[in-house]
Structure 1
Amino acid sequence: MLRFLARRFLLLIPVVLGVATLTFVLMHMAPGDPARTYLGDRATPAALAALRHQWGLDQPLWRQYLTFMGGLAVGNLGQSMFFHHSILTLLAIRLPPTLWLMGMATLFSIVISVPLATWMAVSRGGIVDAGVRSFNSIAQGTPLFFTGAVLIAIFSLHFRWFPVAGYGNDLSQHIASLVLPSISIALAIVPFLVRGLRGALMDALSSEYVSFAKAKGLGRRSIWINYALKNAAITGISILGIQVGYLAGGTLVVENVFAIPGMGTFLMSGILNRDFPVVQASALVFALLVIFVYLLTDIAYGLCDPRVRVK
């Protein structure tokens, strides 16, 4: 397992460097001038030149790239052009809401998917199976912002169970504020998980080891937990790991719909303000989050299936 983890960590290095380079190039190729965005259209050429010099934007592109990569190597992501604070300080404030949101969305997707997939596998070909498949089709084709707006209208404005927007001031308010955004993201992931788990459960129930367990006289509950669900979990882990990219992208939309001060709103503000350090740091953090979850997926897959560790 240690060799397995070491190989995975080594593979992270070129990915991080590639993401950092690509983000830097795309930001500097995009149209617009950060100095003019900050000072406004009536700024004088002298003021624009002074601000570009202060931010280092008048230097050659290769020198800006070396400065950026040199700071990244020592953990210095620079200072925001518009917030006038260290990027690391801003990340310490913005990252926790996004981590909570991703964690709760993952939890909700598992809690919803496992019972639905089990129910479909037991009653395959029946009304429940057809109904859940119809629900999956609708959920898969519904945009995240529309799902969030519907949940706000029902559970925030009508029933007043959850806040309309914001993040709250303490832990209980944080959790209450993230319930609806987490469900919005989870409902987009559930169709993929349910479809994969249903197929895996059906394969497991028709396998020889389940038939042997029945012949031994094991109870229905023991067969489901120790044989069917345990083997189907490998498929669920793989699908959940694949969907983590959508999970990270979903936070960009959902955080702006629910006004959550996380990485999604932080990245959007950086894009609108042409704040290079903010956009570069945000994109890098999102990439690291995806890579980290992929790593956790590999670890979980290796724990469930020892054959993976020798590859």
Structure 2
Amino acid sequence: MHKYVLKRFAMLIPVLIGVTFIVFFIMALTPGDPVTIILGDNATAENVAKLTEELGLNDPLIVRYVRYMGGLLKGDLGKSYSNQLSVLDQIADRFPNTLILAAAAIFVSLLIGIPVGIISAKKQYTWIDNTSMITALMGVSMPVFWLGLLLVIVFSLKLRWLPSQGMGQGLIGVLKSLILPAVSLGAGSAAMVTRMTRSSMLEVIRQDYIDTARSKGVKESAITIKHMLKNALIPIITVVGLQFGHLLGGAVLTETVFSWPGLGRFMVEAIKKKDTPSVLGAVIFLSVAFSIVNLLIDILYAYVDPRIKSQYKVQSAAGRRGE
């Protein structure tokens, strides 16, 4: 198992190199000058030239990229153009907020998706199943920003039950301010989890061991949880893992609509200011987080399905024999 983990981390290196290369040159090709954005249109030529020199923007593009990669190898993500603060420190301040939002959105998707998917599978082709699938299709198709604005209008402006922007203080304040963005972000994931749970459960329901369990007098609730759901978990875990990684990087619109102080909003503000170090730092951090989530999902497979765990053991033993 440890060799597999090391191999996955080794595969992350070329991914990060490719991501940084693409983002760095895209930022360089986008219109606008970070110095002008920082100083304003009324800045003197002397001040512009001085700040340009301080930021190292006079050097050729490839030289700036090599210099950035040299700092990255030392764990230095550079300093923000706009405020000269450490990019790593700013990311460290904001990423926990994005993690909280993504975790809450996944919780919403699981809370809705798994029960609805199970009921839909057990009531196949009934009005319950049809209604669930239509609702799931609407959830997948609905834009996140539109749903977010709709929730703000209804629950903040009309009913005045929940705050519409920012992150509250204290546990109660955070939970109240988290509800709307979590529901907005988790709706699409809930639809995906519902569809996958239904599909996976339908495959398990048709197996002979389900009929055997029923013939032995096992309670239907126990059959559903211990036999059906447990054996249907692998595809569900895959979808949940991919969705969680997607939510970490895809919370940009939600964080912008709800003014949530997370990494997505930080990246949007950095793009507006053409703050290349901040954008690169956020993209690298999210790429690493997404890869780690996928690795954890792969490892989790081994604990859910003993057959996968045995494959790891066989591969490990074969490797030792080869040595």
TM range (shorter): over 0.9
In the other structure, the counterpart of 2:221 is 221
User: Sequence identity, in percent?
Assistant: 34
Greater shift, 62-71 or 238-247, is seen at 238-247
Q: 1:174 to 1:83 in 2, by over 3 A?
A: farther
Asked if 1:210 is matched to 2:210, the reply is: yes
Choose 16-25 or 63-72, whichever is displaced more: 16-25
Tell me, in whole angstroms, the C-alpha distance in 1 between the residues paired with 2:171 and 2:80: 28
Residue matched to 1:5: 5
After superposition, the C-alpha distances for 1:5-60 in whole angstroms (9 at most, x for unaligned) are 23322222222222222222221222221111212223333322211110011112
Tell me the equivalent position of 1:163. Answer: 163
Contact 1:144/1:250 (<8 A) preserved: no
CA contact (8 A) 2:245 2:293 kept: no
Q: CA RMSD in A?
A: 1.7
3-state SS of 2:251 partner? helix
Give the alignment of 1:45-194 within 5 angstroms: 45-194=45-194
Matched, 1:251 2:251: yes
8 A contact 1:108–1:186 mirrored in 2: yes
Which structure 1 segments of 5+ residues have no match? none
Q: Distance in 2 between matches of 1:275 and 1:64?
A: 14
Equivalent residue for 2:33?
Answer: 33
Q: Structure 1 CA distance, aligned partners of 2:65 and 2:25?
A: 9
Return the TM-score normalized by structure 2: 0.91
Aligned to 2:284: 284
C-alpha distance after superposition, 1:191-214 (max 9, x if no partner) = 221111101111111112212222
Aligned counterparts of 2:301 and 2:23: Cα–Cα separation in 1: 30
Given that 2:103 and 2:244 are in contact with CA atoms closer than 8 Å, whether structure 1 keeps it comes out as: no
Q: How many pairs does the alignment contain?
A: 311
Which range moves more in the overlay, 153-162 or 57-66? 153-162
Report Cα offsets for 1:148-196 as digits up to 9, x if no partner.
1111122223333321111022233222211111111111112221111
Q: Which residue of 2 aligns with 1:271?
A: 271
Output the CA distance in 2 between the equivalents of 1:306 and 1:62.
49
Using a 3 Å threshold, how does the CA distance of structure 1 residues 88 and 171 change in structure 2: closer, same or farther?
A: farther
TM-score under structure 1 length normalisation: 0.94
In structure 2, what residue type is equivalent to 1:144?
V
Q: CA deviation at 1:301?
A: 2.1
Query: Aligned partners of 1:74 and 1:130: how far apart in 2?
Result: 55
